[in-house]
Amino acid sequence: MNIKNLKKWLGSFIFIGGLLFIFFSPGMAGTEIPKTKLPVLITSAGQSPDVMTINIVAEEAEIKYDYCDVPTAELLGAGVGLADKEPGPGFHVEINSDLDKFPKGTPYKTIIFAIGASLKGMGASGLTVESEISRLKELIDYCKKNNIFIIAAHVGGTSKRGAPGSDNERMIDTVVPFSDYIIVTKDSDNDGRFSKIAEEKGIPLTQIDYALDLVDIFKQIFQ
């Protein structure tokens, strides 16, 4: 085999290998993963326990986050530290942001919504589906006005989906079309609903096989 043929052969090999990598790269599918910045607030859209999964995955990815299950727009506006609000029944707060880098009051750059409706969770926080939706709308308005990057994450699979108009779908309708980035597990998007919203609204979307794949995604987003 002469050098010219060898180069051609190597070129084809690399091209095919690249294609195979793109098609079969483990865990993720979709558009390029966008970048965003800390500080970040993790919260719930619908009060399902999936927000705990997101928190634990963020911890695993060594992302220092603040968490509040039911923040208002006013609380979000208070920035890092969430105005030193104390947790209480139906109201959970955790402040894990690096306070040396982001002192209390630093405006959040990113918010992550863990989407999934739980009547039990909403009830424990004294919310109804209507009041939860209204709270979420206010938060999203605030984020849009203040350039806070919105990540919509749905990792609950089919158990956190439902018929059109059901609680879960209403949470999706409230958050996903207004987000800047969508992350879903494949089973969450098995009817292509998230993909359709992403396509229609031009929102980047990453589909993952398992919630655990979020660890790598979070690392890349907050690089």
- Closer residue to other proteins, CB minimum distance, 98 or 209: 209
Site for other proteins contains 59 (CB under 8 A): yes
Site for other proteins contains 211 (CB under 8 A): yes
Bridge-based pairing of strands 40-45 and 28-30 is: unpaired
- Closer residue to other proteins, CB minimum distance, 77 or 91: 91
- Closer residue to other proteins, CB minimum distance, 53 or 110: 53
Site for other proteins contains 212 (CB under 8 A): yes
| Tokens of residue 5, six digits | 């043929």
The amino acid at residue 194 is F
Site for other proteins contains 209 (CB under 8 A): yes
- Closer residue to other proteins, CB minimum distance, 27 or 204: 27
Positions of E strands within the chain: 28-30, 40-45, 65-68, 93-95, 110-115, 149-154, 181-185, 205-208
Q: Which of 11, 60, 83, 101 binds other proteins (CB under 8 A)?
A: 60
The amino acid at residue 206 is T
| Distance in angstroms (rounded) separating the CA atoms of residues 25 and 160 | 26
Residues that bind other proteins (CB under 8 A): 49, 52-53, 56-57, 59-60, 209-213
